[in-house]
Structure 1
Amino acid sequence: MTSELIGILGFAGLLLLIGLRFPVGIAMLLVGFIGTGALNSFSSASYSMTGQSFEIISNYDLTVLPLFILMGTLAAAGGLSRNLYDAAQAFIGHWRGGLAGATVVGCAGFAALSGSSIASAVTMGRVAYPQMQRYGYGQRLSTGAIAAGGTLGILIPPSTGFVLYAILTEESIGRLFLAGIIPGLLLTCLFLVAIRVFAAFRPSESPKGERVNWAESFKALLKGMPIVLIILITIGGIYAGLFTPVEAAGIGAFLALVMVILRGQLTPTVTKNVIVDTLQTTGLCFLILIGASVFAPFVALSGLPAAISEWVAGLAIGPYGILAVILVMYLLLGMVIEGLSLMVITLPVVFPLVLQLGFDPIWFGVIMVLVLEMGLISPPVGVNCFVVKTVATDVELETIFAGVFPFLIAMICCVALLVAFPQIALFIPEAAF
């Protein structure tokens, strides 16, 4: 049996285990261990498992993950996200479809704190859905705006998707964070355009909200300033070279803690929930990273990356044609496999090919994360749609998937713009570094 065939069987086994609801990290650990043992020896497989696991958990750069997760959990527990939504609602809530637009803006702001799409969808869903229902918004627009707005959590820095990509490809976390700023703002604007178009065709499902006077708007803006200040300090500090991403994460978590304390909301129950949620999410992320660190050597030993690179490079469709094939593959796989897991599984094969084609790895990281976002709201998995279903229990899943369709079109437009104009993503990191 050739090494390439063993590699293919390994991927098939991995997908089978995931389909059987094995945790992705455990599935990769099993397949990586058995595959490395079959291709090399089980003593080297044991060394890979123990050595790589220790290297992951003792990696100082990975401290950024639990700190940013803690920052987002504190922001949600302290009600900072609700204040941001109220501020957005005060300024654009009186437009037709304005509450849906406020939801997207609120998700964008909360995403910049949490870095988690699921956290953004859950938190903003609990705040925004009852409000939109109270004003008579249609279920499609209400749930679609929440599900799509939540996807901004994986693109707007600090992003767990960028952190994971940087670790797997050995690229700069700071560069990736800066590269995601303009695309994140661009996608937010495209979402707002999608809402306006939807409202123009279906005005009965997107009524106007109450107009708020300037005094009330300014008051709401002041309440939302804590999130803005934390974002400016953390991301602005990285941009200015004042501190590293790890230090920025620590400062952000500390500032979020101070805000919650000053608001008098750090009760024993809230403290317990914040700690438990942070530990659970961190443990899940590290399990995936450990599994990836064992699975990646098996993929390299199988020779699959080189074989696939040679095959794809031989296709007479040019670099951008090959890029299109890769992106379509990610879009299709993202419909059935969770985005971060898909990144871990495929990057050992795809990333060498991207470098061989001459594409900028930072730019491709932004493109890849954006396409993975699309998988978060695409059927049949659409994790964010299932998350919104837990908030909007009276809405059918089919309605939620129908509601995200205009936002999927907006995301396709964003990908096209980034491919046509790479400087959208590269301008800030090139200027900073």
Structure 2
Amino acid sequence: YMGVIYLLTSRNPSLGPAGAKASWKERFSALRGGLWEALAVFMLSIGGLFAGWFTPTEAGAVGAGGVLLVSFIEKRINWEKLKKSLVDTTRTTAMIMLMLAGAVIFGRFMAISRVPFELANWVAGLPLPPFAIMGMVLFIYLILGCFIDALALVLLTIPIFYPVVVGTLGYDPIWFGVIVVLVVAMGVITPPVGMNVYIIKGVAPDIPLETIFKGIWPFLGALILCIILLMIFPGIATFLPNLLK
């Protein structure tokens, strides 16, 4: 995305006009407002994760607690704002948990009906190379991503495609997860629906929908390029996770 923005603004500077120049004194002054607090929270959560003090889930909780503590110390939050945050978090969590509950039931149904296993056996018998079958799977994700919420799509389809891609085709599960995230990201900005495009329209109602759809094409191309690179060089997706071993 950074490369796309750089190329677009290089060709048409009016898309990203330069801001006012700031002196070095102003730059250092701007760093004082929250830099050290952010670094402290980052070192606590990520440093504790690498040190083995807690799991990734616990690291997220520690980071959230650290941010909350800093907000109270610097008086950037009051009880009214905290109450609103808790209500919003509860609503979001309830939505996610309902999706997870549905996914668990759906996964149980898949296990009993043996649909993934039959699909895996059928795929194994196809006279096609693994990358061609993987391309078919990604195309299905792209089409479904145009109409279904990203989280719901992942939760509903992983029980079906995971045994095929990882078990039958032998692809790395981390690589498959990264690929799925990128393809779903393509789906939510791709016509004819493109759910995220309508979200942007709600945030910026004065911008015509046609203009927003035109603006997504360079970023869609960047996502396609990323997927092609990951297909050719799968080690890109597994390099950092392998460092944790």
Change over 3 Å in CA distance of 1:424–1:230 after alignment to 2: farther
1:228 Cα shift? 4.5
Query: What is the distance in 1 between the residues matched to 2:139 and 2:209?
Result: 24
1:197 matched to which residue of 2?
7
1:232 Cα shift? 4.0
1:214 matched to which residue of 2?
24
Q: Does 1:271 align with 2:82?
A: yes
Amino acid at match of 1:312: V
1:352 matched to which residue of 2?
163
Change over 3 Å in CA distance of 1:273–1:312 after alignment to 2: same
1:273 Cα shift? 1.0
Q: Does 1:289 align with 2:100?
A: yes
**Structure with bigger RCO (C-alpha 8 Å, 6+ apart):** 1
1:426 Cα shift? 1.3
Check conservation: 1:335, 1:376, Cα contact below 8 A: yes
1:324 matched to which residue of 2?
135
Amino acid at match of 1:383: M
Pick which of 416-425 and 380-389 moved more.
380-389
Query: What is the distance in 2 between the residues matched to 1:423 and 1:237?
Result: 26
What are the residue-to-residue correspondences of 1:60-75 with 2, within 5 Å? none
1:249 Cα shift? 1.9
1:236 Cα shift? 3.7
Query: What is the distance in 2 between the residues matched to 1:405 and 1:229?
Result: 39
Amino acid at match of 1:292: A
2:237 matched to which residue of 1?
425
Query: What is the distance in 2 between the residues matched to 1:326 and 1:235?
Result: 34
Query: What is the distance in 2 between the residues matched to 1:381 and 1:375?
Result: 9
Check conservation: 1:334, 1:374, Cα contact below 8 A: yes
Secondary structure in 1 matching 2:68: helix
Amino acid at match of 1:401: F
Check conservation: 2:138, 2:180, Cα contact below 8 A: yes
Q: Deviations over 1:57-101 (max 9, x none)?
A: xxxxxxxxxxxxxxxxxxxxxxxxxxxxxxxxxxxxxxxxxxxxx
1:222 Cα shift? 3.4
RMSD: 1.9
1:352 Cα shift? 0.4
Q: Does 1:397 align with 2:209?
A: yes
2:65 matched to which residue of 1?
254
1:280 matched to which residue of 2?
91
Amino acid at match of 1:371: V
Query: What is the distance in 1 between the residues matched to 2:23 and 2:116?
Result: 60
Q: Deviations over 1:103-128 (max 9, x none)?
A: xxxxxxxxxxxxxxxxxxxxxxxxxx
Amino acid at match of 2:113: S
What are the residue-to-residue correspondences of 1:12-411 with 2, within 5 Å? 191-225=1-35, 226-355=37-166, 356-411=168-223
Change over 3 Å in CA distance of 1:236–1:428 after alignment to 2: farther
Secondary structure in 2 matching 1:404: helix
Change over 3 Å in CA distance of 1:263–1:383 after alignment to 2: farther
Q: Deviations over 1:289-346 (max 9, x none)?
A: 1111111111222232122222222232211111111112111111111111111111
Query: What is the distance in 1 between the residues matched to 2:40 and 2:216?
Result: 31
Check conservation: 2:147, 2:195, Cα contact below 8 A: no
Q: Deviations over 1:118-159 (max 9, x none)?
A: xxxxxxxxxxxxxxxxxxxxxxxxxxxxxxxxxxxxxxxxxx
1:357 Cα shift? 0.7
Change over 3 Å in CA distance of 1:227–1:405 after alignment to 2: farther
Query: What is the distance in 1 between the residues matched to 2:186 and 2:75?
Result: 38
Number of residues of Structure 1 aligned to a counterpart in Structure 2: 243
Gaps (5+ residues) in structure 1?
1-190
Gaps (5+ residues) in structure 2?
none
TM-score by length of 2: 0.91
Q: Deviations over 1:199-219 (max 9, x none)?
A: 233333332222222222222
Secondary structure in 2 matching 1:209: coil
Percent of matched pairs sharing the same residue: 42
